[in-house]
Structure 1
Amino acid sequence: MSGDHNDELPPLLLEKEVADFLKSSWRGDQEVEDEDGVGSKIFDRLLKCLGTPPTVTTLRVNTLAADKHVVAKQLKSELEKQYNDRGSNPPPIVLHPALKDVLVIPSRGPNPRPPEVVKEVIVDLACGMAVLRGADVFVLGIMGAPGYLQAGETVAVYADLEGQCRKGLKEEYRERKIYVGCGVMQLSRDQMFCSAQVKLRGVGIKMTQPLYEAPSLDDVLPELLFAQNLPSIVCCMVLDPQPGETVIDMCASPGGKTNHIATLMNNEGRVVALDKTAMKVEKVTNNLARWNLTCVDAYTFDSTKCSDENADISGTPPYPPGSFDRVLLDVPCSALGQRPSARNRMTLKSLQSYSTYQRRFIEAGVKLLKPGGTLVYSTCTITMEENEHQVAWMLDKYPDLQLDEQHPHLGDTGRPCKGLTATQLSLLQRYDPTSDTSQSKYFTDNDTIGFFIAKFVKKKEMDS
């Protein structure tokens, strides 16, 4: 991958100490690995899966504003225009058979790099990963381009795997890079790097022959559609918020789940959305405004400190214990389930710090939950320490919590874990890209990001 044209995406590249730690724990809490090393093989396959994008794009429909069949027809028209510009036929739009507000679009790829395209443009890694999910290249993501490159030229786009490309590079980039597709320059090199004008924004390269064909959804029916990973959608359906209830989303940014909660509640009741920084809360409010959702109060606040005996439920945080019918705890995590991900520089110390940090959110969330209420704990990571081990810890620390059945349950069950029975593991929902897809109920659920969901109910005093 250093200056060659090997277009196959590599497995997720981790720091060695992190990879060794994850591999050793991937077999779960079983005493030994089988003689053939199946656990290691599965882990290697997991890293390969994490380096590639999911094979479908899932879109949640604003059912408060329009019928999903009408929205699907509008989306079809938008995709026909988009794919016509690319010179290819649009993919089908499928109504998800189990999730009544979800549309699914299959992806295509990997596609070979056209041999006639010789000029290469380097983009930063985050930009490259977005391209693999269907995005065009925005100007701010472009790091290097050949001299004399003009608008209208077709270029091969490579993502910088090492983060070493200096802005404005003219020469060939010889560090590790990965091919993500070909596209047409919307600006010249001079416009991008040598202009004295106001800093440029917008699309710099229109992707016409991406490695993986997925729809570009920027500004496509934003008032009617929300692009969201399937497990994130399932997470809020498992929470099952009802109109008129009081619900808290303790780690709300960027606001997709908050938006979904308010929609499931028919915009009736009260949703409190918290995040620690003002910029993240602004993302939440923007995503709510797109769908005109008014039942949400979003605040910049540290959720680990949002329970206070002397507080008032009606205003700003903190709040009294037992204030909420439902609590969503989509906690900060190592995010190792996100796809595609080509490079992660997280240290082992950082990885191992998450479980302790998450417990501060858990403690606050359990306090805020009413007796008889529902708490959903979720992550977008693959580690047992942040998933099954946290569930075992919660059940041990809080005798008034019990696991509850999840509906819908489209993922796998939990991995073997000390402290959890087979019945308890069956109540957990884990999305694992290495799963045997032939066993999935629906083809739409075969290939997702890594994700984990646990649903708890707090016992009423009379049940204790």
Structure 2
Amino acid sequence: MSFFPKILLLPEVEGYLSNVFRNQELVSALDAQEAEKKYESLLSHLPHPPAFTTVRVNTHLTSVKHVKNLLFEEIQKQFKGLNVPILEHPELQDILLIPVIGPRKDLQQHLSEVIVGAQCGNAVLRGAHVYVPGIISASKFMKAGDMVSVYSDIEGKCKRGAKEFLGTKVFLGNGISELSRNEIFSPSGPLKGMGVRMTDPIYLSPSFDNVLSSYLFLQNLPSAVVSHVLNPQPGERILDMCAAPGGKTTHLATLMHDQGEVIAMDKIASKVKKITQNAALLQLNCIKAFCCDGTKAFAVRKTEDTEGPPFLAESFDRILLDAPCSGMGQRPNMAYSWTLKEVTSYQPLQQKLFTVAVKLLKPGGILVYSTCTITLAENEEQVAWALENFPCLQLQSQEPHIGGEGMMGARLSLDKLKLLQRFDPSNVTLQRMHINSLLDAKEEDLIHLANKDCIGFFIAKFIKLNVK
């Protein structure tokens, strides 16, 4: 994994993470050398995309087999006839897996360069083309139709409109410029639309721009696991507390066969609109989206006869709290610019949301808490806090359980850690395969790799046993 540098962090954040992943409990169990090895492996994996692109099929409208056939034809066209397999996940019946090929080390770099920001670079590594707003710099004489090499400015030091950049940059692959430099940096303001069509990205991953948009949803594997763990049933009333952009919301509605009610909330109106748009695109009618701060979603009594928030106690059969978090598990991520203050600011908010969720859950109801980050404070420590503060909650086994167990360091027993799921990309037991061996690999080996090499995503499941 030395092709890219390890993830770029502020020194204070790297020091914080170093202490987290070398905590006394973990070191005592693994020894210092093994803990160090796992930590360094994690930092090295985070800049790379997962080994598989995960696609969730909208089984409300079509079958997995039908989408698999359509996808195979699409990928054949995109990959110029390369026979890349599409795999059906054996435990998640609505999930398809497409191997990501790379990093490809034999690509020749062109003299004409385009520099993009770190976020745009991350998207390119997942199969996206380069759109104009993401372009920071382009070579002096670049014209439309030129072959260009695309780089990511991971340190954020390139000045917009620069004609060359000699700072730290990571090669992302080659493409064809759709616009000239003058058009991209026009005085009338940045254009919209595609700036570079990637033809030879360093990671060969399919582009899903306007591809089967009603039939599939791009969703990282752990994110899809969350909805299956919640296991909503037809006719139930479900709450997705922090729902935007609606991937899990629409998954929950699909698993319920669009029968029942899924309440989706987000405190930002534009994000609520995105939830509604996704629900309409996937033709799901049981979703009702509301603009609401989840910390204010509970009411002791209703002052108005409305179907939206705030809600009375014990209003929901199942609740998903996919909490706002520091997002340090998202991959690929070559550069993480947040300060330590920002990284450590989420724990109080998560606890406020959790407290509201417990109040809104019916007796015997299910609550699933998840994040897309890797810290102990936002994951295992939150579980320990919840179990201490809400005796009415009890951890339950999860189905499916395809990730690893929770990480030591929060003084949770081994039995409790086994009831948690942590998807840690440094747990990979099969290394990313070279293209030739990949195409000859056994399907069960590829599935094993897909289960392990995931976004760093944490899932805990609680069940409410009684009411205080």
Shorter-normalised TM-score: what interval? over 0.9
Deviations 1:368-404 (A, max 9, x none): 0011000000000111111111001100000000001
Match of 2:139 among 137, 141, 146: 146
Q: Decide whether the 8 Å contact of 1:412 with 1:432 is kept in 2.
A: yes
SS of the counterpart of 1:329?
A: strand
Deviations 1:122-156 (A, max 9, x none): 11111111000110101111111112211111111
Match of 2:59 among 58, 63, 66: 63
Return the alpha-carbon distance in structure 1 between the equivalents of residues 273 and 287 of structure 2.
Answer: 13
Match of 1:247 among 207, 216, 238: 238
What is the letter of the counterpart of residue 58 of structure 1?
T
What is the letter of the counterpart of residue 281 of structure 1?
V
Q: Decide whether the 8 Å contact of 1:28 with 1:415 is kept in 2.
A: no
- Please, which runs of 5 or more residues in structure 2 have no aligned partner? 431-444
Question: How do 1:96-135 and structure 2 match up within 5 A?
Answer: 96-112=89-105, 114-115=107-108, 117-135=110-128
Match of 2:185 among 187, 193, 215: 193
Alpha-carbon shift at residue 436 of structure 1 (Å)? 4.3
Q: Decide whether the 8 Å contact of 2:8 with 2:154 is kept in 1.
A: no
| CA pair 153-305 structure 1, distance change in 2 beyond 3 A | same
| CA pair 29-255 structure 1, distance change in 2 beyond 3 A | farther
Match of 1:280 among 266, 271, 284: 271
Return the alpha-carbon distance in structure 2 between the equivalents of residues 68 and 313 of structure 1.
Answer: 41
Stretch of structure 1 that moved more, 199-208 or 328-337: 199-208
Return the alpha-carbon distance in structure 2 between the equivalents of residues 394 and 313 of structure 1.
Answer: 32
Q: Decide whether the 8 Å contact of 2:406 with 2:422 is kept in 1.
A: yes
Counterpart of 2:196 in structure 1 is 205
What is the letter of the counterpart of residue 198 of structure 2?
M
Q: Decide whether the 8 Å contact of 1:113 with 1:182 is kept in 2.
A: no
Match of 1:43 among 33, 39, 54: 39
What is the letter of the counterpart of residue 460 of structure 1?
N
Return the alpha-carbon distance in structure 1 between the equivalents of residues 234 and 268 of structure 2.
Answer: 28
Counterpart of 2:459 in structure 1 is 453
Return the alpha-carbon distance in structure 2 between the equivalents of residues 378 and 35 of structure 1.
Answer: 29
Question: How do 1:285-300 and structure 2 match up within 5 A?
Answer: 285-300=276-291
| CA pair 78-418 structure 1, distance change in 2 beyond 3 A | closer
Return the alpha-carbon distance in structure 2 between the equivalents of residues 31 and 257 of structure 1.
Answer: 32
Counterpart of 1:4 in structure 2 is none
Deviations 1:174-198 (A, max 9, x none): 22211111111111112222374x8
Q: Decide whether the 8 Å contact of 1:96 with 1:444 is kept in 2.
A: no
Match of 1:383 among 358, 364, 375: 375
| CA pair 31-133 structure 1, distance change in 2 beyond 3 A | closer
Q: Decide whether the 8 Å contact of 2:376 with 2:410 is kept in 1.
A: no
| CA pair 397-159 structure 1, distance change in 2 beyond 3 A | same
Q: Decide whether the 8 Å contact of 1:313 with 1:320 is kept in 2.
A: no
Alpha-carbon shift at residue 443 of structure 1 (Å)? 3.2
TM-score by length of 2: 0.92
Return the alpha-carbon distance in structure 2 between the equivalents of residues 404 and 313 of structure 1.
Answer: 35
| CA pair 145-242 structure 1, distance change in 2 beyond 3 A | same
SS of the counterpart of 2:426?
A: coil
RMSD, aligned CA: 1.9
Return the alpha-carbon distance in structure 2 between the equivalents of residues 313 and 26 of structure 1.
Answer: 50
What is the letter of the counterpart of residue 57 of structure 1?
T
Stretch of structure 1 that moved more, 183-192 or 51-60: 183-192
Counterpart of 1:3 in structure 2 is none
1:367 and 2:359 are equivalent in the alignment: yes
TM-score by length of 1: 0.93
Deviations 1:81-123 (A, max 9, x none): 2222xxx615211111111001100011111263362211111
Return the alpha-carbon distance in structure 2 between the equivalents of residues 351 and 327 of structure 1.
Answer: 25
Alpha-carbon shift at residue 366 of structure 1 (Å)? 0.7
